Amino acid sequence: MPTSPTQPPPTGHPGPPGAAGPGPWPAAAPAPARDRYTGPEQPSYLWASQATMPDVRQPDPRRPAATGDLGRPGPGPGRRHGVAGAPSRGDRRAEHGGRLARLVRGRPEDPRWVRPALVGLLIATAVLYLWDLGASGWANAFYSASAQAGSVSWKAMFYASSDAGNSITVDKPPAAMWVMALSARIFGVSSWSILVPEALMGVASVGMLYLTVRRAFPAGAALLAGAVLALTPVATLMFRFNNPDALLVLLLICAAYAVLRALETASTRWLVWAGVFVSFGFLTKMLQALLIVPVLALVYLAVAPTRFTRRLWQVGAGALGLVVPAGIFVAIVELAPESSRPYIGGSQDNSLLELTLGYNGLGRLTGNETGSVGGGGGGMWGSTGWGRMFGSEAGTQVSWLIPTALVLLVAGLWVTRRAPRTDPGRAAFALWGGWLLVTGIVFSQMKGIFHPYYTVALAPAIGALVGMGSAALWRRRAHPAATATLAGALALTAIWSFILLNRTSDWHPWIRWTVLIAGFAAALLFVVFSWLPRPARIVVTTAALVAALLGPLGYSVATAAVPHTGSIPSAGPGGGGLGGPGGGGGPGGRLMIFGGPGAAGTQTGGGAGAGGQQVPGQTGGTTAPGGTTAPGGTGPGGMGGGGGMGGLLGAGDPSDEVVAMLEENASSYTWVAASVGSNNAAGYQLATGDPVMAIGGFNGSDPSPTLEQFQQYVADGRIHYFIGGGGFGGQNGGSSASGEIAAWVQENFTATTVDNVTLYDLTASTSTTSAGSLSGASNT
């Protein structure tokens, strides 16, 4: 039953903020029912017993009041499904002007510190993410080369091709490449034009998380959530890097915002927007974007203030918003003739669907990833299990506040256990808790390729739960249970941060002791917090923030202080770039991505390539994690052809002499060169600005091109040079085409070594056969 503006809410419901309700705080005069609000927050059960709530939205005097069930804002006149009382066009213009003013000055009823604090947080985040950003050079050259290709070819940009000749795509969908390629088109191809958009995505992610948490929680909770996200070391890493994860995080936060916005008024429009954001997340990193979809759908079905049948078809509308944008791109790729588009990198049958369900999909869970590095299920990507997020690889990247977030999640759900079904505060806990648990469990159990930087997807949920849970308990700090939970969570944070900091015990040891002492001191003083004078309260609050954020802050600053390059970056002290492997394989044919300490090996003749073929090689040995060097040479059954100027996981920087050779008559060829492996090709392409064919894609294990296709390209005069080394074809059931091509080139063309780089001029065959017979030569 709706309540009148002068009646108290129904028995058992706390009512809107300011109304009489349970708790030790005095009841205020009954608040008028409200329909439309000018501010950004949605009332929640968490704040129902507060006598005064400056953070809560005020009624719009232009609109007649109306309430729905349980005293929540109902449809009322002027809503989407109402007619009478709709605002005039002039009213809407005034409303938009008010929104712009609030964007600049903040809400009039907010404390004066809120807007400066938010602006300060965003500026500090921008400084952290932009400082000396160009030091990382091309960062991940694999994606930078695709951005360079897209800056000169619209077709290459649409498909996310590795080169402007459109031989093969990167092994991801194109959305992240679209952003970088457009920036490169506008500002020119440079490290800054590629990396600045990533940093701005980080600032936008912090801002969007603030807005999302602010829907149902005070400004302090939203600011704390944004600060936790900004200072998570892996977030600092990825928002200063050009992997697709930066865009994925931003899109998923936007999806969460849209769902929480939709459930407030049962808005179909916002739910469709949530689907669209997830759809572009799919176009950024495929199935990883779908991990949170069940959580979003279930939260909406459980909470939205409308009848269940309407909730069902609204979720269907949101699913349509998810399917249509991504489906259009998939349909274009699948229906386009293969001869008119680039090969789909990462697949074995030139299919985007196969890439989605295999190498970039279920294969990540099962370890069955045809063509991937090292073979599935062999433990190459770390041990699986519940401790993975806290282990030596991922722990210092993201887990600083995971234990605290889990404790506060349980506390938040307990505090809201008697809230009405439609309570937005409990919905927020369910959404962010589901995000953290589902994504964390999948990452912990996946047997395929896993890199610690994937865990950046957990950072928004951690930040939101820490901010919301802290605010919920702080609101009830007069209750001993709430105070004890806050103190326990703070002590847990200090202990876990001390353990993580102790893993780099020689790096500023004072930090870990400061965190431990400040955390325990603040936890103890929380017990008597209400009796402390105001200056002491400020000191205790500061100590609590130090205990929670000093460790991540130190690691984030250390991350921003060093360049990061290669394909597997790492946050924290000493977590600089990772180059590609040397030219060797370990015993039994296992590829040695990470070598032990030692000097660089040398591979002058090349190692055993795919199918036992000899791949022309160069100098081996590259930097592995922690500054060690991966060995060159070969082992029994090892994969050859690595090292050289670049390698499997990182691109090198060719000399001026090599660049000059490649640029000679470049306009006469579709590709100035071809090389096995995308990273190896990327280094030359970025140095010359001209297309370089990546034979076999990222791992050199894709059947693109086949030997016959490559021979035809050579016969047609479309490729100038073949660059030896750089690939590892034929892995984990992948194609051996790259090894066959390398062997055919070595047999039919003369090698020239320039600055330790082996080049084969494909326009000058050692054979006396004609071009026609050359194109049909058989592999030996």
Helix axis angle for 114-130 and 219-231, nearest 10°, is 10
| Local confidence band at 166 (pLDDT 50, 70, 90 cut-offs) | very high
The DSSP symbol for 588 reads G
Q: What residues form DSSP beta bridges with 67? A: 73
> What is the model's pLDDT at position 692?
97
What does the block give as tokens for 555? 């690691």
The region of weakest confidence among 62-66, 174-178, 315-319, 506-510 is 62-66
Which strand (E) or helix (H) includes residue 460?
Answer: helix 459-475
Which string of DSSP letters, residue by residue, matches 106-134? --TTS-TTHHHHHHHHHHHHHHHHHTTGG
Tell me if 358 sits within 8 A of 370, measured CB to CB.
Answer: yes
Q: Are strands 629-630 and 622-623 parallel, antiparallel or unpaired?
A: antiparallel
> What is the model's pLDDT at position 271?
98
> What is the model's pLDDT at position 405?
98
Q: How far is CA 97 from CA 32, 60, 92, 104, 261, in A?
A: 25, 15, 9, 11, 21
Burial (0-12, 13-18, 19+ Cβ within 10 Å), 6: exposed
More confident residue, 454 or 649: 454
Alpha helices (H) in 215-307, listed in sequence order? 219-231, 233-238, 245-265, 268-285, 293-303
> What is the model's pLDDT at position 652?
78
Which strand (E) or helix (H) includes residue 761?
Answer: strand 757-765
Nearest CA to 468 among 261, 281, 660, 221? 221
Tell me if 692 sits within 8 A of 734, measured CB to CB.
Answer: no
Nearest CA to 727 among 719, 735, 718, 717? 735
Burial (0-12, 13-18, 19+ Cβ within 10 Å), 97: exposed
> What is the model's pLDDT at position 741?
95
What does the block give as tokens for 714? 């050579």
Tell me if 249 sits within 8 A of 459, measured CB to CB.
Answer: yes
What does the block give as tokens for 616? 């022309």
Task: Give the mean model confidence (pLDDT) for residues 483-499.
Answer: 96
Task: Give the mean model confidence (pLDDT) for residues 383-393.
Answer: 89
What does the block give as tokens for 400? 């600083």
Tell me the chain's radius of gyration from C-alpha atoms. 29
Q: Could you tell me the strand order of the sheet in which 757-765 lies?
A: 692-695, 671-676, 719-723, 757-765, 749-754
| Local confidence band at 374 (pLDDT 50, 70, 90 cut-offs) | low
Rounded to whole angstroms, the Cα distance separating 477 from 471 reads: 10
Sign, CA torsion 12/17/20/25: positive
Percentage above 70 pLDDT, the chain: 72
> What is the model's pLDDT at position 395?
92
pLDDT at 301 over 80: yes
> What is the model's pLDDT at position 359?
80
Task: Give the mean model confidence (pLDDT) for residues 646-661.
Answer: 81
| Local confidence band at 91 (pLDDT 50, 70, 90 cut-offs) | low
Percentage above 90 pLDDT, the chain: 63
> What is the model's pLDDT at position 197?
98
> What is the model's pLDDT at position 751?
93
| Local confidence band at 59 (pLDDT 50, 70, 90 cut-offs) | very low
Nearest CA to 159 among 174, 145, 138, 180? 174
pLDDT at 627 over 80: no
Nearest CA to 436 among 285, 292, 303, 293? 292
> What is the model's pLDDT at position 70?
29
Task: Give the mean model confidence (pLDDT) for residues 627-633.
Answer: 36
Tell me if 567 sits within 8 A of 553, measured CB to CB.
Answer: no
| pTM beyond 0.75, yes or no | yes
Q: Could you read off the pLDDT of 258-276 as tens digits, one per residue?
A: 999 999 999 999 999 999 9
More confident residue, 598 or 232: 232
More confident residue, 608 or 395: 395
Q: What residues form DSSP beta bridges with 630? A: 622
> What is the model's pLDDT at position 76?
38
| Local confidence band at 764 (pLDDT 50, 70, 90 cut-offs) | confident
Rounded to whole angstroms, the Cα distance separating 3 from 7 reads: 6
Q: How far is CA 116 from CA 121, 123, 226, in A?
A: 8, 10, 14
More confident residue, 41 or 654: 654
Please, what is the Cα angle at 277 between 275 and 283, to 5 degrees?
105
| Local confidence band at 605 (pLDDT 50, 70, 90 cut-offs) | very low
Q: Could you read off the pLDDT of 113-129 as tens digits, one per residue?
A: 999 999 999 999 999 99
Residue-averaged pLDDT of the chain: 80
> What is the model's pLDDT at position 531?
86
Q: Could you read off the pLDDT of 657-698 as tens digits, one per residue?
A: 999 999 999 999 999 999 999 999 999 999 999 999 999 999
> What is the model's pLDDT at position 23?
35
